[in-house]
């Protein structure tokens, strides 16, 4: 079995476990994205995960686990690294617009190449520090995965949304300490315990809004 076939098998089983349906083209885009990440990782050190099969679980399925919870059409993924979770979500939601923000040029170059290779029309990679970035219009959702504490995320990103916008943070263990540190200007709307197929460890999603 080729690595491409192995990745496809892990993906299909994962989608089944998550009760998600993606087209053959979307599945192929996700497999190709992992292969690109693996190829670039050797020179650019984009992720500490070295095994493409582990990338499929720890990066792709982990990102796709929030598909049922993603409302809004104009989304920014801050501190996205090589494009996580933004790139897999953009593949899953071709009708939504994604801005993928990172301060490191090599990551943005990788994302730009991936967008071109995968034929994605709904992704804009941007190199900038989050506090220096301003969208043309307020974003519906500010998304982050392993970016910063909730307190810092809200402090650095509050200018990116208006009163309707939401912050969505993907966390490991339930971040009780971080939730207690959230300033009085925001409130935690809800939290969700996520199950990611084949992933060892906890996953939680936290929604926040301006008061």
Which residue is listed with tokens 């049922």?
68
Start-to-end C-alpha separation, the chain: 53
Q: What residues contact residue 185 under an 8 Å CB cut-off, 6+ apart?
A: 154, 158, 210, 211
- Cβ atoms of 75 and 98 within 8 Å: the answer is yes
- Cβ atoms of 85 and 143 within 8 Å: the answer is yes
- Cβ atoms of 123 and 87 within 8 Å: the answer is yes
**Alpha-helical regions (H) of the chain:** 3-18, 24-44, 52-55, 62-64, 86-92, 105-118, 150-157, 176-181
pTM of the model: 0.97
Per-residue pLDDT of the chain (211 residues; tens, 9 = 90+): 999 999 999 999 999 999 999 999 999 999 999 999 999 999 999 999 999 999 999 999 999 999 999 999 999 999 999 999 999 999 999 999 999 999 999 999 999 999 999 999 999 999 999 999 999 999 999 999 988 999 999 999 999 999 999 999 999 999 999 999 999 999 999 999 999 999 999 999 999 999 9
- Cβ atoms of 57 and 65 within 8 Å: the answer is no
């Amino acid at each position: 079995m080729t690595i491409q076939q192995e990745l496809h098998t892990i993906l299909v089983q994962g989608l089944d476990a998550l009760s998600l349906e993606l087209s053959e083209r979307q599945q192929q885009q996700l497999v190709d994205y992992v292969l690109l990440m693996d190829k670039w990782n050797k020179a650019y050190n984009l992720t500490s995960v070295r095994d493409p099969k582990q990338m499929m679980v720890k990066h792709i399925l982990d990102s796709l686990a929030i598909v049922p919870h993603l409302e809004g059409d104009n989304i920014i993924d801050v501190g996205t690294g090589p494009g996580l979770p933004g790139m897999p979500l953009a593949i899953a939601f071709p009708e939504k617009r994604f801005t993928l923000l990172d301060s490191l040029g090599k990551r943005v170059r990788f994302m730009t190449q991936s967008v071109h290779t995968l034929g994605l029309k709904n992704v804009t990679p941007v190199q900038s520090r989050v506090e220096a970035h301003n969208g043309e219009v307020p974003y519906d959702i500010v998304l982050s995965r392993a970016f910063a504490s909730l307190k810092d995320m809200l402090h650095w990103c509050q200018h990116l949304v208006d009163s309707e916008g939401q912050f969505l943070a993907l966390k490991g263990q339930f971040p009780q300490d971080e939730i207690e540190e959230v300033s009085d200007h925001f409130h935690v709307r809800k939290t969700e315990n996520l199950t990611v197929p084949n992933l060892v460890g906890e996953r939680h999603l936290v929604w926040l809004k301006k008061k």
